[in-house]
Amino acid sequence: MTDPVYRTILLFDIEQYGSRDDVEQAFLRRVLYDVVDATLLDAAVDETARLRADRGDSVMELIDTAVPVPALIKTLLTETPALLHNKNRLLATSARMRLRIVLSSGYVAVDELDGWVGSDLNHAVRLLNSDPLRDALKQRESDCVLCVSEGVYQGVVRHGPLGVRPEEFHRVTVGTKEGPTVAWVHGEPGTPGSPEAAAGVAASGPDAPAPQYTDISIGGDQYGQTGGVHNGDQHFDFTGRARDERR
């Protein structure tokens, strides 16, 4: 197994993917790739600074820490929704793609089976699959919802970098197998009695009710295959170097 390296962790997941037939799933995957690639291009993320794993209904990206996180967040809040809208406005309602997005960070290693391993990655996946984030998307008419980890919020968002407003994020508390964990969801929190509130959303402030934790469980702690061909001839290896596949 490789030594763990610190990376920005970006996850995208398609809502209600399993309810679609094979043709629809294949189409949605192509749209997802288009949106993810365009998002990272808009955020000026070079192909040699990213590593992708495909999980069927979701995509995971490990991004080099040289890429500014504020610019990435701004892009996820502005360009990604616009990209999704442009895709969805030409489709029937039944074919519309909606996304849950998580931005986190931490140490990740690659094992001998080319799978990604690490507790920080596990944490990000648990946020992606959490009830508060699922419910936040269900309650909105928008095509996507962004969740950032506590570390990303405290280190970047709360300082209000250009184009990012910390007051537009609300705090959520999610119970996991490792215990309660805090994250921040962009947009208005659910109203009292809403599914989001019942799932364990904790509003910030002195009058916030005691959180109700939901045990979020996912199968396995190994994710995807490393690599991914870019422009037909290069791979991004785990050390951040591009290697020529034509040799």
- pLDDT by residue (tens digit) across 113-137? 778 889 999 999 999 999 999 999 9
Query: What is the C-alpha to C-alpha distance for residues 192 and 118, in angstroms, rounded to an integer?
Result: 36
pLDDT at 234 over 80: no
Side-chain half-sphere of 95: how many Cα atoms within 13 Å?
Answer: 15
H/E element, 170: strand 169-176
Q: What percent of the chain stands above pLDDT 90?
A: 54
pLDDT at 153 over 90: yes
Going by the DSSP 8-state scheme, the letter that residue 166 receives in this structure is G
Contacts of 152 (CB under 8 A, 6+ apart): 69, 73, 103, 104, 105, 184
Query: Which CA distances in Å does 103 have to 22, 185, 198, 242, 247?
Result: 29, 10, 24, 24, 35
Whole-model pTM: value is 0.77
Q: Sorting pLDDT into bands at 50, 70 and 90, what band is 218? A: very low
Q: What stretches of 129-245 show up as alpha helix (H) in DSSP?
A: 131-138, 150-155, 195-198
pLDDT given for residue 190 in this prediction = 59
pLDDT given for residue 222 in this prediction = 45
pLDDT at 240 over 90: no
pLDDT given for residue 113 in this prediction = 79
The pLDDT tens digits of the residues spanning 201-212 come to: 334 444 444 433
Q: What stretches of the chain show up as alpha helix (H) in DSSP?
A: 22-42, 69-88, 119-128, 131-138, 150-155, 195-198
The pLDDT tens digits of the residues spanning 41-71 come to: 999 999 999 999 988 788 999 999 999 999 9
